[in-house]
Structure 1
Amino acid sequence: MVSDQRISRHTTFILLLLMGYKSTGFGVNQCLKVPTMHLDAANKIWNFLQVNDNLIKSDVIVGLGSHDPRVAIETALLWLQGWADIIVFSGRLGNLTAGRWNRTEAEVFRDIAVSMGVPSCKIYTETRSQNTGENIRFTYQLLKTKYRIPQRIILVQKPHMGKRTSATFWKEWPQESNTPEMSLIVRTVRITLERYPSEDVGDLSDVISVMMGYIQRLPLYYNLGFQVYVRVPGDVWESFRLLQQTDIYNSHLV
């Protein structure tokens, strides 16, 4: 989508950033204390929850706020590669960032993107939302008021939030009769479960615990009307039950 020269301008930044993450856990194998049977079950869930649709030139890239700055990096890289005209970062403070960050998730992510070379005038920040449903609704309101209602959107999210993000979007994004049909592309940060732990997201046990809460909420939130239906295969539920029965990874279950 863009020349190699434009991408190479940011190579040094990315390499230094990755080196910094290694010192705090990013890229470090932290699975030794997790039994192999648990890790196999967790990977089954991890792989199911990810979504990486084929990229299409879009109107906007929306980076959904969280405790993982790699979402901001992926969002900025997609913009630098020319996949959309503008970026929206959405998020106030959620369960995993409240009390840890002194600025909103959207503001933290914006600053990362700007440091990578994205012009600040190409970034909108939505700083009210505190959950995925609000991310979607408030981003729609912001774009309708300050930009335009897009026809194509790329949503960027953490790896284990891909399925929930897509399901929530189709429930919460207003479908107005006088607007063209919406095209949605969901991209999750591409990284293995074993390499995902970092200072920001915690160790491997922390990551698995959060992921357990995410998959448990798929049917719960459908029943509550928060998202559309997502079919979860039987072997994925078997993996969930195996991990649940250990009582090690249940801190984020409801």
Structure 2
Amino acid sequence: MITGKQPPVTEEVRELARLVWDYHLLGHSLENSHAILVLGSHDPRVAERGAALWLDGKAPLLIFSGGLGNFTAGLWEEPEAVLFGRIAREMGVPEEAMLLESRSTNSGENMRFTRELLKSRGLNPHSFIIVQKPYMERRAYATFKKNWPDKSVRVTSPQIAFEQYPNESISLEVIIQSMVGDLQRIREYPKMGFQIHQDIPGPVWAAFERLVALGFDQHLIR
């Protein structure tokens, strides 16, 4: 959880953060798939994006995966998947089109517990659309491919630009802290067996190091 006084967001910080944001975005074009898998988070706009894709006919099955994680434990009273499922129902997605996985607390568990849930229902989708926050697209892809290397996957997120993404619930400071931490995980997690390897361009890693030096270090693994 990211709390407390945050470093100032100067113009230098904004420029560095845009560089990291752009790296996290994959820019995948979406194809009709067997399932839409929405990963839990503290941002309900992710659920709205997943539900909109189902309503657009991108896949017949909509899965929400998420218990209470790093950002929602102690703040939300119900699992992320339950809240996201309710948002989807309110948008017009029928109950029978959805599956809820409400135990997972991190990205690896999202994949593992969803796979177990699908197996228990006798389902074996071969192609997925993953929905996550923009600044977690790349990490979601790397985690999925580590856990499901034989499946086809595209990744997307709420279609909102960097400048417009902060709102009353998620500040720009928290977004930057999260992006910095996730970039470190993209580098370190393959060594731990959690994700596939992905190259990080030199200027992006230099931006990471500068942001950490400026105090954006609350979401780092220690």
**TM-score normalised by structure 1 residue count:** 0.82
Please point out which of 24, 28, 41 is paired with 1:53.
Answer: 28
Partner of 2:55: 80
2:142 aligned with 1:192 = no
Deviations 1:221-253 (A, max 9, x none): 111111110100001011111111112x11111
- Unaligned ranges ≥5, structure 2: 1-7
Residues 63, 72 of structure 1: 8 Å contact kept: yes
How many residues are treated as equivalent by the alignment? 214
Give the letter for the 1:125 counterpart.
L
Q: 1:147 to 1:87 in 2, by over 3 A?
A: farther
Partner of 1:137: 112
Deviations 1:61-115 (A, max 9, x none): 0100000001100000000000000100000010000011000000000000000
Counterpart secondary structure, 1:52: coil
Q: Quote the RMSD (CA, aligned, Å).
A: 1.2
Partner of 1:220: 188
Partner of 2:220: 253
- TM-superposed deviation, 1:119: 0.5
Report the Cα distance in structure 2 between the residues aligned to 1:218 and 1:132, rounded to whole angstroms.
12
Please point out which of 82, 90, 93 is paired with 1:118.
Answer: 93
- TM-superposed deviation, 1:50: 1.2
Report the Cα distance in structure 2 between the residues aligned to 1:43 and 1:147, rounded to whole angstroms.
43
- TM-superposed deviation, 1:147: 4.5
Deviations 1:149-179 (A, max 9, x none): 1111111010011111111111112x6xxxx
Give the letter for the 2:123 counterpart.
R
Deviations 1:171-206 (A, max 9, x none): 112x6xxxxx521111122222221112332x1111
Counterpart secondary structure, 1:54: coil
Residues 65, 90 of structure 1: 8 Å contact kept: yes
Report the Cα distance in structure 1 between the residues aligned to 2:17 and 2:84, rounded to whole angstroms.
28
Partner of 1:209: 177
Please point out which of 119, 136, 152 is paired with 1:183.
Answer: 152
Partner of 1:243: 211
Counterpart secondary structure, 1:236: helix
**TM-score normalised by structure 2 residue count:** 0.93
Report the Cα distance in structure 2 between the residues aligned to 1:199 and 1:237, rounded to whole angstroms.
29
Counterpart secondary structure, 1:133: helix
Report the Cα distance in structure 1 between the residues aligned to 2:99 and 2:168, rounded to whole angstroms.
27
Please point out which of 133, 136, 153 is paired with 1:158.
Answer: 133
Residues 61, 88 of structure 1: 8 Å contact kept: yes
1:20-39 matches, within 5 Å, as: 34-39=9-14
Report the Cα distance in structure 1 between the residues aligned to 2:105 and 2:27, rounded to whole angstroms.
24
Partner of 1:170: 145
Counterpart secondary structure, 2:163: coil
Give the letter for the 1:146 counterpart.
R
1:229-240 matches, within 5 Å, as: 229-240=197-208
Counterpart secondary structure, 1:194: helix
Deviations 1:98-153 (A, max 9, x none): 01100000000000000000011111100111110010111111112214111111
Partner of 1:14: none
Residues 52, 188 of structure 1: 8 Å contact kept: no
Report the Cα distance in structure 2 between the residues aligned to 1:90 and 1:109, rounded to whole angstroms.
9
Identity of aligned residues (%): 43
Give the letter for the 2:58 counterpart.
W
Report the Cα distance in structure 1 between the residues aligned to 2:72 and 2:26, rounded to whole angstroms.
23
